[in-house]
Amino acid sequence: MDKQLALLKQMTDCNAPAGFELPMTKLMQELFNEESIETVQDNTGGIFGVKKMASNHSIMLLGHLDEIGFMVTEVTEDGFIKFTNLGSWSGTVMTSQKVTILTQQGEVRGVIGSKPPHVLPQAERNKVDPDAMFIDIGTDNREETLDAGVRVGDPITPYSEFEVMANPNYLLAKAFDNRFGCAAAYEVIKAVDNHVTLYAGAVTQEETLSRGAITAANKIRPSLAIAIDVCICSKTPGMENAGQTKMGEGPVILLSDAWNIGHVSFRRYVEQVAEENGIKYQIDHLTGGYTDAGHVAVSNTGVPAITISVPTRYIHSNVSMMHREDYNGAVKLLKKVVESLDDETVERIIKQEI
Ligand SMILES: [Zn+2]
């Protein structure tokens, strides 16, 4: 496994759901320390590498540290675990999936229980009811589950390991949403030759209404911002009408999502940089989702903000699939955009003169 794959594996295997991001904050801190990159943190755990320049303006690249998961709410008499969601899940992808419970005594493996078709009445076979779901860690009763270390309030993450697929450009992992964004921000700041101050890192609690983007934007007060996050990949069976993006066709510049209209001048500028550098890219919009760009855009007195994305299959489930060339395209585009900016260009973008 080469260095880049090892980085993506380390990031996606890390267990840190919304509200419980500390393992990811620490991992990012270690990576920045290895490269002697100065860091800044907000009080929720959002962390950014900083490359300060003698500029009036700054740009913020933000991934998010958190992944979707669950939290223990009850241990039943029979030892089963009831839970609530951290982030948005659909019941159809939850049943029979392996999970990891992050107890204070260590990790405990569980599975979200399901009813076999043999006992399901016909009417229930194609129905899922997330409220009726439970996690089974393989114990006889409540006492044994508590003995395993499980407590109400413990976070839970999906369990699946990073894998390289048949075509080695295709990568499978939990939490590409949004550890790819953390990895991309890190790869950019490591290699960039910037002329305006750069903050590159990741925020907390995106999956629970993008809260960490607010605290990070208030701390950093950037002039421009790019959220780095996954988007829908439409070219799988049955997804033909869900957008226009295809794996392997490059990073995606989002026109809009539920909370943001990509700043028109900044978006056009980024498209121009992509074209000048021969980076292929795709354009799409998200109707039923948001990224951190929305909250940053309306922070302070307003920040031109867009989202650069990578089409990702099966997001918000135990596994997601990403194309390595799209990831590399996103890193290259972000790097070229940051390197092309100076104070005058930032001002022209803010005034919409581009
Ligand atoms: Zn997400």
Q: What is the DSSP letter of 129?
A: -
Q: Are strands 155-158 and 163-164 parallel, antiparallel or unpaired?
A: unpaired
Render pLDDT for 214-236 as a digit per residue (tens, 0 to 9).
Answer: 999 999 999 999 999 999 898 88
- In 3-state terms the chain splits into helix, strand, coil percentages (rounded to 5) of 30, 25, 40
What 340-346 contacts at long range (C-beta under 8 Å, 24+ apart), as own/partner pairs, is: 340/273, 341/57, 341/59, 341/194, 341/195, 341/196, 341/224, 342/55, 342/195, 342/196, 343/55, 343/56, 343/57, 343/196, 345/269, 346/57, 346/59, 346/196, 346/223, 346/224
**CA–CA separation, 74 and 208 (whole Å):** 21
Q: How far is the centre of ligand 1, averaged over its atoms, from the C-alpha of 178 (Å)?
A: 7
The answer, as to whether pTM is greater than 0.85, is: yes
Q: How far is the centre of ligand 1, averaged over its atoms, from the C-alpha of 73 (Å)?
A: 22
Q: What is the DSSP letter of 324?
A: H
Q: What is the DSSP letter of 303?
A: -
Helix (H, G, I), strand (E, B) or coil at 336: helix
Contact 243, 236 (CB under 8 A): no
Residue 193: half-sphere exposure toward Cβ, Cα within 13 Å: 1
Contact 305, 256 (CB under 8 A): no
Q: How far is the centre of ligand 1, averaged over its atoms, from the C-alpha of 306 (Å)?
A: 16
Residue 98 has what pLDDT? 97
Q: How far is the centre of ligand 1, averaged over its atoms, from the C-alpha of 315 (Å)?
A: 7
Render pLDDT for 240-297 as a digit per residue (tens, 0 to 9).
Answer: 878 889 999 999 999 999 999 999 999 999 999 999 999 999 999 988 899 999 999 9
Which active-site residues does the annotation give?
A: 206
Q: How far is the centre of ligand 1, averaged over its atoms, from the C-alpha of 67 (Å)?
A: 7
Q: What are the helix (H) ranges across the chain?
A: 3-13, 22-34, 142-147, 176-191, 211-220, 264-276, 293-297, 324-340, 343-350
User: Amino acid letter at 288?
Assistant: G
Q: How far is the centre of ligand 1, averaged over its atoms, from the C-alpha of 145 (Å)?
A: 30
306, β-bridge pairs: 226
Tokens 């790869």 sit at which residue?
187
Contact 336, 279 (CB under 8 A): yes
Residue 234 has what pLDDT? 84
Helix (H, G, I), strand (E, B) or coil at 217: helix
Q: How far is the centre of ligand 1, averaged over its atoms, from the C-alpha of 180 (Å)?
A: 11
Contact 233, 251 (CB under 8 A): no
Nearest to 93 by CA among 116, 112, 115, 75: 112
Peptide bond before 56: cis, by omega within 30 degrees of 0?
Answer: no
Low-confidence ranges of the chain (pLDDT < 70): none
The answer for residues whose C-beta is within 8 angstroms of residue 235's C-beta and 6 or more apart is 245, 246, 247
Residue 127 has what pLDDT? 78
Q: How far is CA 164 from CA 5, 114, 235, 340, in A?
A: 9, 29, 20, 34
Q: How far is the centre of ligand 1, averaged over its atoms, from the C-alpha of 95 (Å)?
A: 19
Helix (H) or strand (E) holding 203: strand 197-203
DSSP string, 156-173: EEE----EE-SSTTEEEE
Q: How far is the centre of ligand 1, averaged over its atoms, from the C-alpha of 173 (Å)?
A: 14
Measured in degrees and rounded to the nearest 5, phi and psi for residue 142 equal -55, -45
**CA–CA separation, 105 and 102 (whole Å):** 8
